[in-house]
Every structure is written in C-alpha cells, then in structure tokens.
Amino acid sequence: MQPHRISGVLISADEIARRVDELVTLLEPHCRAENFVMIGILRGSFMFIADLVRDLYQHGVHPKIDFITLESYGSGMESSGTVKVTKDITVDLAGAEVLLIDDILDSGRTLHFAVNLMREKGASRVLTCALLDKPDRRVVKVKPDFTGFTIQDHFVVGYGLDYDSRYRELPYIAKVELI
Ligand code: IMP
Ligand code: MG
C-alpha cells in the first residue's frame, strides 16, 4: 500500500440511501420471477446488496441470494487483466432470472466475465446493477442495466469498496489520494 490519504466525502451516506431507494423503484418490476436470484460480486458489493435487498423487501420481493468472489486486482489500483473465480455460487441457475450486483465498473472485465458465467450456468436472463460506473476507464464494451452513480476516473473507497482490503467499512464513498 502506498502512502495515501482518504479525502473528504465524494458521495455521502444520505445520497447513497436516496439512490438505493430510486434504484429499487426501477429494479423492483424486474424482480418478480418465481426463480429470481440476486448475486453479489464479492467482496465490494456486500453493503450495496444488503441495502438493496432490505429495500426490495418493502416491495414484497423475496429473492434467492448468493455470492461469487471474483478477483482481478492485485493489491494496488490497477486491474491485472484476467478475472478468476475464487469462490463460486452454489445456487442452481438453470432457468433463473439473475440480477448481478457489483460495486463498480472500471475496465468492465469483471462484469463482462460474470454475465457470461451466469449464462453458462443456465440463467435465462441476466440483468446487471453497479453502484458506481467509471465509463472513462472502460476496456471491455459493457454497460450496466442499472447504475447508481457515474463518477470520474478517481480511485474510490468506502461502502464496500477497498484500497488494499481497507476502508470497506466507511458508510460513504471517498477518494484515495496518493501522497
Ligand atoms: P473491472 O473488472 O476493471 O471493471 O474492475 C472491477 C473491480 O475492480 C471492482 O469490482 C472493484 O473491486 C475494483 N475497482 C475498480 N475501481 C475501483 C475503485 O475506484 N476503488 C476500489 N475498487 C475498484
Ligand atoms: Mg476490490
């Protein structure tokens, strides 16, 4: 980890909560299938999916929930380019309608990989929702079906996102500045 500081608040906890509520209004009609499964991409999405499912519950949505751990990052701020599954889901996806939840779209490799994997596992539909999108960084052509916030090319932490496994606990999103 390089010397760094966490600068201010880029997106506050209140702004996140309001956006989660808006997203759920958009998502909720797509969560009605009998075989509806929400899959969080770990580790960054744990807080986001926890807030989404509690809000969806208010709309009477009762999803199956599972998690997959995908890794492409080393310990720095740059993606290594290849994505691998380090912990897989156990839920059966044959004929399932899947909603994939990710923390942030950067190069796009992770989400692209995850969508293809869900299809290979037999999902009949795969929708995607990312809390944050950094479109300027895209390498693979992929666009989430639902996005919380579009941000500029900053490295950010908090609300599940880490820098070298730290700062996931912050209830807000902040920028990391190298010093
Ligand atoms: P992608 O495969 O390049 O789109 O990267 C996606 C993954 O990289 C995310 O799920 C994050 O875990 C990580 N990532 C990308 N940008 C950031 C960032 O600004 N802060 C923390 N993690 C990031
Ligand atoms: Mg990460």
Residue 26: pLDDT band by 50, 70, 90 thresholds?
very high
Compute the C-alpha angle 150/148/138, nearest 5°: 40
172 lines ligand 1 (CB under 6 A): no
With residue 70 as reference, give the H or E element that holds it: strand 64-73
107 lines ligand 1 (CB under 6 A): yes
Distance 105 CA to ligand 1 centre (A): 6
Alpha-carbon span 50 to 154, nearest angstrom: 25
Both tokens of residue 115?
A: 């969508």
Contact between residue 113 and residue 128 where contact means Cβ atoms under 8 Å apart: no
Distance 34 CA to ligand 1 centre (A): 32
The predicted structure's pLDDT at residue 8: 87
Distance 104 CA to ligand 1 centre (A): 5
Residue 106 known to be catalytic: yes
Contact between residue 59 and residue 28 where contact means Cβ atoms under 8 Å apart: yes
Is the model's pLDDT at 75 over the cut of 80?
Answer: no
CA 105 to chain centre: 8
Is the model's pLDDT at 141 over the cut of 80?
Answer: yes
